[in-house]
Structure 1
Amino acid sequence: MLTFIGLSIIVIIVALLITEKVSPAIAMILVPLAGAVVAGFDFGQIKEFYTDGTKSVIQIVTMFVFAILFFGIMSDVGLFKPLIDGLVRLTRGNIVAVSVGTVLVSVVAQLDGAGATTFLLVVPALLPLYQRLRMNPYLLFLLLASSAGLINLLPWGGPTGRVATVLQMDVDVLYKPLFVVQIIGLTYILALAAFLGLREKKRILAEYGALPDVGTLLDEHRASGSAPDHLARPQLFWVNIALFVLTMALLFSGKLPPGYVFMIAASLTLLINYRHPKEQIERINAHAGGAIMMASIILAAGTFLGILKGSGMLDAIAKDLVSVLPNALLPYLHIIVGVFGIPLELVLSTDAYYFGLFPVVEQITSQAGVDPRAAGYAMLIGSIVGTFVTPLSPALWMGLGLAQLSMGKHIRYSFFWIWGLSLLILASSIAVGVVPLHPVP
């Protein structure tokens, strides 16, 4: 019963997000509430689910609100104009070069293992370039999501650490064979970027009749920019650069919580660039809409996850998914789950996938002679590039919020490309022996 209700909640929410029938916050607040009531939980229990769920995301909400304010104000003062000019000159307006460059930039940005930081670095930097070149912004998110997801296999990325925890082994030892998988996966993603870049180039030519001229791009960027001229602070450019670099350094150091870092950074940015209180309030009001929207969505997602976790629905889904397979398929269960890793990203949180489903799969396949590490590799590789194509990812919500894009459209645009990448990487991992196809006799 819990499995059926939990799956129904997830399917309905994903359907509502994809079709955009209601706002994300409404879907993630009302649908889980209705499911909890139908499952027979009383208001006291639902209150606990809500409390636990919102408590788990409150730091994320704080970070999102002040990060949006910080990056919005930095855009107002003109910090990103020279960067975009430089990227245009570097790529010469070449659509394919921009697509491939997006992958490389995303890989570097994700090396710290923090998805939120990656979106904060990549989206504000590259989105204006995509807009100038008339490229589809959802292509940016497809390439960013797949690249960052693949790099998340690093020992400090999270998923690999979870598998190592379940297997009770050293995460560095577990990771070593995955380096080859990352090289293979990166090759596929770069090839996909080049292919989609060519496709995007053809679309732009068909739709606009010509590609944007580099000189025209630079002239347009200087003329329009991202904010009126009276907001720009060219005389404070290097001061703002220093503040931006210090903010990122403090963020990476982990010495202070990310939300507090952005609180301080946003306050200093306002104080340095807009001395009058009226100007400061105007800048806050200008970006408050996006910040409040993101806060409402993340809090709604927290209640959604709180109900699914607290009620036991996620655990029930994870266990029941493996109980419906014939006995003949059980030795290959880890590969089957890996094949469906990307769709499972839509219905299971990271913790539910690795701490709920994986232990069950590992126990069943071990009895059939499968090396526990092979089961872990199959499930890791099968789902990792889909880390940022699910509404259960707070970092993805933040990135889409910064770009003012739709979760549903992102899923529609990216899902099958990312699933195809995942299947290719998993098949290659089987071919090179990282994931043995047959159990040990």
Structure 2
Amino acid sequence: MLSIIGIITILVIVALLISGRVSPIVAMVIPPIVAMFVAGYSFDDLGVFFDEGISSVISVAIMFIFAIIFFGIMQDVGLFEPIINKMVALSKGNVVLVAIVTVVIAVIAQLDGSGASTFLISITALLPLYVRLGMNPYLLLLLVGGSAAIINMIPWGGPLGRVASVLETDVTELWHPLIKIQVIGVVLMLLLAVFMGFREKRLIAKRSQTGQTLKFDLSNSILNAETDETLKRPKLIWANAILAIVVLAVLMSGLLPAGLAFLIGVAIALPLNYRTPKEQMGRIQAHASNALTMASIIIAAGLFLGILNGTGMLTAIANNAVNILPSFLAQYLHIIIGVLGVPFDLLLSTDAYYFALFPVVDQIGLTYGIDSLSTAYAMIIGNIVGTFVSPLAPAVWLALGLSGLEMGKHLKFSFFWMWGLSITLLIIAVLIGVVHV
């Protein structure tokens, strides 16, 4: 009975998240509470489940709040702008170099964990260049989306925070084994950029010989995003760069909890760049919306996970799934789900994938001796590369709006490249021992 209630609850949550008719908070709070009462539990039990669930995710929520504020301030002061402008200047006229620079800019821009800001920076800086050189603008979306997705494995990017919430583990420790995957992923993206750059160069030459031109309706694109120049601090670029490097070094060393590292970083960045309390609070308020949105979703997920774990629904689902699934498939379920991770991006939102699907796969894997970290890494690596090709990702629609391009053509151009990259990274992860089979 618990298994049936749990499955129905997860399906309802997934359906609500896919429909987009309610916020993730509504989807992850109401259905599990109703399911808990149907299963015969009381209000007292609900309080216990809530406390247990929140205790497992509160550190992640705190980390998200201050990470988003910290990197928001770094963008406000213009920390990344000189690097990006220099690379754009160096690459003008060379199609292959433009493709390579696209990857580098996306990698730098995604350090704040926000896909929206990455597309805003990258498309604003590079779309005019792509148009001027006759390059396919969908190549810009492919290279930015793939690069940003790989960097999105950082602790404050989103997916790792969700997984850390489910596993009740420190998000920074969860990240450390993935750093090598990120490095390999960036190298693969650079190789893809070189390949696609030479391919694009040949296509441009062919079009030039036949008198053809690329025809895309970019009339709705935004080629020049407005920025508040009064917030920039060009004289403090080096001070901010040192601060950002120190914070990242502390994160990678594990010297302090991630939330505390970013909290200290924010406390230093504010007076460093903005002298008055009004200016400092203005920067916090400017980024508080994004920070609290993610934190509230994490807290709602804490309740959802607290109920599913506390009632025993996840265990029941896993036990019954083990009885149904052929053993030769069940013991490789984490790999199978990882391989299908990018197609899952078209069907499930990030919340549905990590908060609804992952706990079930994890429980089944444990039954066959597959440790939770292997399951987590297989599902993260398999899925995350396709983040910015999914119509369920809001940042993708921002990218399409900025560039004036179409979702269907973006999928057609980028989907199989991203899926191939995902499977390649998953195979590498197995070979180097990040994911155990």
Question: Which TM-score tier does this pair reach, normalised by the shorter chain?
Answer: 0.5 to 0.7
Q: Does 1:206 align with 2:213?
A: no
Match in the other structure for 2:247: 247
Q: Please list, as runs of the form range in 1=range in 2, the aligned pairs for 1:280-299 lying within 5 A after superposition.
A: 280-299=280-299
Q: CA contact under 8 A between 2:107 and 2:151: conserved in structure 1?
A: yes
Shift of 1:84: 2.1
Distance 1:51 1:198 in 2: 56
Counterpart residue type for residue 273 of structure 1: N
Residue 287 (structure 1) shift: 1.7
Query: Structure 1 length as normaliser, TM-score?
Result: 0.63
Question: Cα–Cα, structure 1 residues 72 and 91, in superposed 2: closer, same or farther, change >3 Å?
Answer: same
Deviation for aligned residue 1:335: 4.3
- TM-superposed deviation, 1:266: 0.8
What is the root-mean-square deviation of aligned Cα atoms in Å? Answer: 5.2
Are positions 1:385 and 2:392 aligned together? no
1:274-317 Cα distance to aligned partner (Å, 9 max, x none): 11112112222222222222221111121122222222222222
Map 1:358-369 → 2, pairs under 5 A: 358-362=365-369
Contact 1:17 1:24 in 2 (8 A): yes
Structure 2: gaps of 5 or more residues: 128-136, 155-162, 164-176, 205-213, 345-351, 388-392, 400-406
Query: TM-score scaled to structure 2, two decimals?
Result: 0.63
Q: Given the alignment of the two structures, is residue 129 of structure 1 paired with residue 122 of structure 2, yes or no?
A: yes
Q: Which amino acid aligns with 1:18?
A: I
What residue number does 1:394 align with? none
The structural deviation recorded for 1:123 is 7.8
Q: Equivalent residue for 1:338?
A: 335
Cα deviation per residue 1:176-219 (whole Å; 9 max; x = unaligned)?
xxx99x979986996599679989x99x952328999xxxx7xx
Residues 103-158 of structure 1: CA deviation (Å, up to 9, x unaligned): 7899999xxxxxxx9664998667511343357898545554467769xxxxxxxx
Contact 2:3 2:316 survives alignment (8 Å): yes
1:48–1:381 Cα change, 3 Å: closer
Query: What is the alpha-carbon distance in structure 2 between the residues aligned to residue 234 and residue 297 of structure 1?
Result: 35
The yes-or-no answer on 1:6 pairing with 2:6 is yes
Cα distance change, pair 63–90 in 1 and its aligned pair in 2 (3 A): farther
Identity of aligned residues (%): 35
Uncovered stretches (5+) of structure 1, i.e. residues with no partner:
110-116, 151-158, 160-174, 363-371, 392-398
Alignment of 1:133-212 (within 5 A): 133-134=126-127, 140-145=144-149, 191=192, 206-208=216-218
* Separation of aligned partners in 1, 2:383 and 2:147: 12
| 1:42 corresponding residue in structure 2 | 42
Give, as a single letter, the amino acid of the residue that structure 2 aligns with 1:128.
I
Deviation, structure 1 residue 238: 1.5
Instruction: For residue 250 of structure 1, report the CA deviation from its aligned partner.
Output: 1.8
Q: Which amino acid aligns with 2:218?
A: Y
- Provide the C-alpha distance between the structure 2 equivalents of 1:100 and 1:229, rounded to a whole number of angstroms: 28
- The amino acid across from 2:299 in the alignment is L
Is the 1:145–1:385 contact (alpha carbons within 8 Å) kept by the matching residues of 2?
no
Task: State whether residues 36 and 307 of structure 1, in contact with CA within 8 Å, keep that contact through their aligned partners in structure 2.
Answer: yes
Q: What does 1:353-432 correspond to in 2, within 5 Å? A: 353-354=361-362, 356-362=363-369, 383-386=379-382, 388=384
Summarize deviations over 1:67-93 as a string: whole Å, max 9, x none: 121111222212121122134235549
Aligned partner of 2:167 in structure 1 is none
Q: Equivalents in 1 of 2:55, 2:386: separation in Å?
A: 21
Q: Are the equivalent residues in 1 in contact too, given 2:102–2:122 (CA < 8 A)?
A: no
Contact 2:70 2:262 in 1 (8 A): yes
Q: Is contact 1:106–1:144 with CA below 8 Å preserved after alignment?
A: yes
Cα drift, residue 27 of structure 1: 1.5
Match of residue 258 from structure 1: 258
Query: Take 1:31 and 1:89, find their aligned partners in 2: how far apart are those partners?
Result: 53
CA distance in 2, matches of 1:313, 1:192: 46
Distance in 1, Cα, partners of 2:12 & 2:98? 36
- Shift in Å, 1:265: 1.0
User: What is the rounded CA distance, in whole Å, between the counterparts of 1:279 and 1:320 in structure 2?
Assistant: 57
The residue aligned with 1:323 is 323
Question: How far apart, in 1, do the equivalents of 2:6 and 2:417 lie?
Answer: 27
Count residues in correspondence.
362
Q: Is 2:29–2:300's contact at 8 Å kept on the other side of the alignment?
A: yes
The 1:208/1:27 distance shift into structure 2, 3 A limit, reads same
Q: Separation in 2 of the partners of 1:185 and 1:272? A: 32
- Give yes or no for contact 2:99–2:193 (8 Å, CA) kept in 1: no
CA contact (8 A) 1:103 1:147 kept: no
In structure 2, the CA distance between the partners of 1:144 and 1:27, relative to structure 1 (3 Å rule), is same
Separation (CA, whole Å) in 2 of partners of 1:205 and 1:423: 33
Are residues 1:275 and 2:278 paired? no
Take 1:197 and 1:48, find their aligned partners in 2: how far apart are those partners?
A: 59
8 Å Cα contact 2:149/2:384 also seen in 1:
yes
Distance 2:185 2:288 in 1: 42
SS in 2 for 1:207: coil
For the Cα contact (< 8 Å) 1:251–1:258, is it kept in 2? yes
User: How far did 1:270 drift?
Assistant: 0.9
The answer as to 2:50 corresponding to 1:32 is no
Give the residue type in structure 1 aligned to 2:382.
G
Q: In 2, Cα distance between the equivalents of 1:233 and 1:196? A: 35
User: Counterpart of 1:65 in structure 2: which amino acid?
Assistant: I
